[in-house]
Amino acid sequence: MGKSAVVGVGLSKFGKREDASLRELAAEAVYESFQDARDIEPGDVEAVIVASSQPERLVVQSHVAPLICEYLGVKPSKGAFRVESACSSGGVALRMADIMIRSGEASKVLVVGVEKMTEAPRSEVMTTLSIVGDKDWESIHGITAPAGFALAAQRHMLEYGTKEEHLGLVAVKNHANAELNPKAMFRRRITLNEYKDSPPIAKPLKLLDCSPICDGASCVILTDAEDARKYNDTPVVVKSITQTTIGNSSTTVDDLTTWKPLVEAASRAYSLAGISPKQVDVAEVHDCFTIAEIIEYEDLGFCGKGYGGRFVEEGQSAIGGEVAVNTSGGLKAKGHPIGATGIAQVVEITLQLRGEAGKRQVSGADIGLTHNLGGFAVNHVVGIYGRMT
Amino acid sequence: MGKSAVVGVGLSKFGKREDASLRELAAEAVYESFQDARDIEPGDVEAVIVASSQPERLVVQSHVAPLICEYLGVKPSKGAFRVESACSSGGVALRMADIMIRSGEASKVLVVGVEKMTEAPRSEVMTTLSIVGDKDWESIHGITAPAGFALAAQRHMLEYGTKEEHLGLVAVKNHANAELNPKAMFRRRITLNEYKDSPPIAKPLKLLDCSPICDGASCVILTDAEDARKYNDTPVVVKSITQTTIGNSSTTVDDLTTWKPLVEAASRAYSLAGISPKQVDVAEVHDCFTIAEIIEYEDLGFCGKGYGGRFVEEGQSAIGGEVAVNTSGGLKAKGHPIGATGIAQVVEITLQLRGEAGKRQVSGADIGLTHNLGGFAVNHVVGIYGRMT
């Protein structure tokens, strides 16, 4: 069976986008991807997969995949649909597009991620975030996302001696990267002191540990790898995309500091791609909260278990380090428009592997990894990408 | 590339289910499918695809695929996610499961459809239905589903002489079939006079032209066709599933009485399955409104364009006719819990092809067809199923 390849990428500006509706945000990303790919027009698109987590509540609109198609003038003969997997919706959409291409079902698939989170009243946004968890049995008792990840942080501190400063250094690094990314929401550096002085959210997490509520859209055009050079001089090959799910509530995670479904998804992704973690040059990982990035260094095999804090402290995850992590600014500083996130990660990896990441370029990047998480560390998607040789 | 096959099916009782939550409805259908398949346990399931249209608004819960997995004790190593395609969500979920199996991505996939529509206040249910259409440009002006399909009915009457009685006969037939289906919401016959006396909704559509708001769940277990006999003595093969989408609003349908994306999806489904429309013995089609079933007879090739009214009048779509349509009672009388519908159609076709449909059995049924529609006739999924020889 063949492979798929990325031949076009696009990203809207992330942030509070009062100037653009959901469909306009999507179009901003899609048009950029059509500019990026050569000789692909809206009429050539065979299938469209849209990742969006809660447009029904956030912008009071359902059936958004056909809605976006109509706005773009795309009439996909092999269909359009939406996938929802909370914060990992984008990763799942890419995975299904890759499977559609490898199965021969379609040869040109548009994958669009979009979320408009700042239009609804704040109370409605809080509802959408809290009902990702089990409303009847968990979030109603207060285990919302910040609380759940705070528990993981407390346990990681207890077991491995991870410190407040380690969490802060993740935020400092990702803000520094975002300063170099024109599409990022927060294009400004922060200091460790600013981090320490930021207001508490759920102990030990502070405001600057948390990714923001944000509007944005992302787009990737996938084709058969065999045909990819027709559409782009520097296509990026999808080496593997895997997903593992264990449940929804935090009680299904039997270890707060080692996320077994992530270890499993990563292990299979490395095996299918035929690489080891040490070969990854650049990675976009799911830093919804800073502690998540630290645990992900470990569970993705970038460092040993418990060494995540030291990994960031030593600069190993900075541009120029062992593996450059979240060069885009990550969810923390680029922004986290939920459905757009997993696809935006692939946009960044594609730019890095092509050598087109500007001031944040990782020199000689050959292999890139993405990690997209849904719910409380229960649902993980891992992708591995490489330059076409 | 191989084929997939249905080795287990399950359906909850459809109706106003005050006794069951969303996850309990899903479990009712899933447990029945595990009973139906031999030697498949929750631990054997590799991937789970959930079809649900608006759980965020209807039961105030998101991330329902992992939620349902957790309730079932399923931890899918190849992931769980939800698809949304409005009323065609179930058809899309089955299609993606078929593609996952054919691509070698997974060999045992659980496909679950569920919607709980009667728990939310009526005003909220009306919102969920109206935002399937384009809220900003169409439904706000009154083109909701009943209004849109009423326009199609008026035009079909004008162009082809279709009569009120023809619409009524679809409802009469589907209620008669539902009387024979223990899982149906409305297990009672109606007369043509009752139909004519039912309250107007959107001229010419009356209450008894419309499918009901309903709770329910459905489940299909798909495996590699090669292995199917391990799990079921009478597996049903997926011959083809196709989808075509043209947009979202009614203005994208350039002919109200011939649904081109349906004609295209059906043509490709027949071609991939290597059959002609005349070979279909039993079909479950998307009768969200009675006029839809009449247009679908035509666009699926069961009769010529414009002859849909006469087709039902002559009894050609009744059990014992040319092609038995909606033996389950259809959306009209079995019920239409949105996410569950497309998968429930395959449950019925499977029972028919196995000869297990009880009093509504179509004798000698070899080939079955399903048609699932999303939005205003803009998004169509067609599936063709056969007995394993």
Active-site residue, selected from the candidate residues B156, B175, B286, B336:
B336
Q: Is the confidence at residue A1, as pLDDT, over 70?
A: no
Q: How confident is the model at residue A389 (pLDDT cuts 50, 70, 90)?
A: confident
| pLDDT tens for each residue of A303-338 | 999 999 999 999 999 999 999 999 999 999 999 999
* Residue A230 and residue A241 in one domain: no
Question: Which pLDDT does position B251 carry in this prediction?
Answer: 86
What residues of chain A lie within 8 A of the CB of B120, using their CB?
Answer: none
* Residue A166 and residue A301 in one domain: yes
| pLDDT tens for each residue of B106-161 | 999 999 999 999 999 999 999 999 999 999 999 999 999 999 999 999 999 999 99
Q: Is the confidence at residue A149, as pLDDT, over 90?
A: yes
Active site residues of A: 87, 336
* CA–CA dist A226, A240 (Å, integer): 16
* Residue B282 and residue B306 in one domain: yes
* Residue A377 and residue A264 in one domain: yes
Residue A90, in any domain of the structure: yes
Q: Among candidates A283, A269, A296, A304, which has minimal Cα distance to A367?
A: A283
Q: Say if the Cβ atoms of B245 and A105 lie within 8 Å.
A: no
Q: Point out the residue among A57, A127, A375 whose CB comes nearest to the CB of B66.
A: A375
* Residue A269 and residue A304 in one domain: yes
Chain A interface mutation, best of B46, B64, B84, B139, highest count of A Cβ atoms under 10 Å: B84
Q: How many independent structural domains does chain A possess? A: 2
Of A202, A234, A266, the residue that ends a domain is A234
Active-site residue, selected from the candidate residues B87, B210, B288, B303:
B87
Q: Point out the residue among B76, B136, B243 whose CB comes nearest to the CB of A79.
A: B243
How high does pLDDT run on average in chain B?
Answer: 97
Per the CB < 8 A criterion, the answer to whether A25 and A42 are in contact is: no
Per the CB < 8 A criterion, the answer to whether B370 and B345 are in contact is: yes
Q: How confident is the model at residue B253 (pLDDT cuts 50, 70, 90)?
A: confident
Q: Is the confidence at residue B389, as pLDDT, over 90?
A: no
Residue B198, in any domain of the structure: yes
Residue numbers of the domain that contains A27? 4-121+214-234
Q: Say if the Cβ atoms of A66 and B103 lie within 8 Å.
A: no
Residue A342, in any domain of the structure: yes
- Closest-CA distance of chain B to residue A183, Å: 28
Q: Say if the Cβ atoms of A66 and B379 lie within 8 Å.
A: yes
| pLDDT tens for each residue of B256-296 | 999 999 999 999 999 999 999 999 999 999 999 999 999 99
- Closest-CA distance of chain A to residue B375, Å: 7
Chain B interface mutation, best of A61, A71, A81, A288, highest count of B Cβ atoms under 10 Å: A81
* CA–CA dist B350, B354 (Å, integer): 6
* Residue A65 and residue A196 in one domain: no
What residues of chain B lie within 8 A of the CB of A252, using their CB?
Answer: 70, 75
* CA–CA dist B306, B293 (Å, integer): 12
Per the CB < 8 A criterion, the answer to whether B72 and B90 are in contact is: no
Of B233, B264, B283, the residue that ends a domain is B233
- Closest-CA distance of chain A to residue B176, Å: 32
Residue A281, in any domain of the structure: yes
Of how many residues is chain B composed?
Answer: 389
| pLDDT tens for each residue of B232-251 | 999 999 999 999 999 999 88
Averaged pLDDT for residues A73-91: 97
pTM exceeds 0.90 for this model = yes
* Residue A243 and residue A373 in one domain: yes
What residues of chain A lie within 8 A of the CB of B377, using their CB?
Answer: none
Question: Which pLDDT does position B26 carry in this prediction?
Answer: 98
Per the CB < 8 A criterion, the answer to whether A11 and A29 are in contact is: yes
For A117-181, the DSSP string reads -SSS-HHHHHHHHHTTS-TTTTGGGT--HHHHHHHHHHHHHHHH---HHHHHHHHHHHHHHHHT-
Q: Counting one residue from A and one from B, how many pairs have CB atoms under 8 Å apart? A: 197
User: What ipTM does this complex have?
Assistant: 0.98
* Residue B263 and residue B227 in one domain: no
Q: What is the enclosing helix (H) or strand (E) of B336?
A: none
- Separation in Å, CA A283 to CA A279, A330, A350, A351: 11, 10, 11, 12
Q: Say if the Cβ atoms of B247 and A132 lie within 8 Å.
A: no
* Residue B63 and residue B185 in one domain: no
* Residue A70 and residue A174 in one domain: no
Q: How confident is the model at residue B1 (pLDDT cuts 50, 70, 90)?
A: low
Question: Which pLDDT does position A254 carry in this prediction?
Answer: 87
* Residue B29 and residue B153 in one domain: no
Q: Point out the residue among B65, B99, B244 whose CB comes nearest to the CB of A85.
A: B65
Q: Say if the Cβ atoms of A79 and B105 lie within 8 Å.
A: no
Q: Say if the Cβ atoms of A244 and B60 lie within 8 Å.
A: no
Q: Say if the Cβ atoms of A81 and B83 lie within 8 Å.
A: yes
Instruction: Compute how many other C-beta atoms are within 10 angstroms of the C-beta atom of residue A161.
Output: 11
What residues of chain A lie within 8 A of the CB of B63, using their CB?
Answer: 84-86, 131-133, 248, 374-375, 379
Q: Say if the Cβ atoms of B54 and A56 lie within 8 Å.
A: yes
Per the CB < 8 A criterion, the answer to whether B297 and B278 are in contact is: no
| Tokens 């809220």, located at residue | B135
* CA–CA dist A183, A170 (Å, integer): 20
* Residue B89 and residue B146 in one domain: no
Task: For B71, list phi and psi in degrees, rounded to 5.
Answer: -65, -30
For A243-290, the DSSP string reads EEE--SSGGG-S-TTS-HHHHHHHHHHHHHHT--GGG--EEE---SBH
Residue A36 sits in a domain whose CATH number is 3.40.47.10
Residue B311, in any domain of the structure: yes
- Closest-CA distance of chain A to residue B77, Å: 5
| pLDDT tens for each residue of A185-221 | 999 999 999 999 999 999 999 999 999 999 999 999 9
Answer positive or negative: Cα dihedral of B190, B193, B195, B199: negative
Averaged pLDDT for residues A239-268: 95
What residues of chain A lie within 8 A of the CB of B21, using their CB?
Answer: 136
Q: Among candidates A342, A316, A321, which has minimal Cα distance to A330?
A: A342
* CA–CA dist B66, B59 (Å, integer): 16
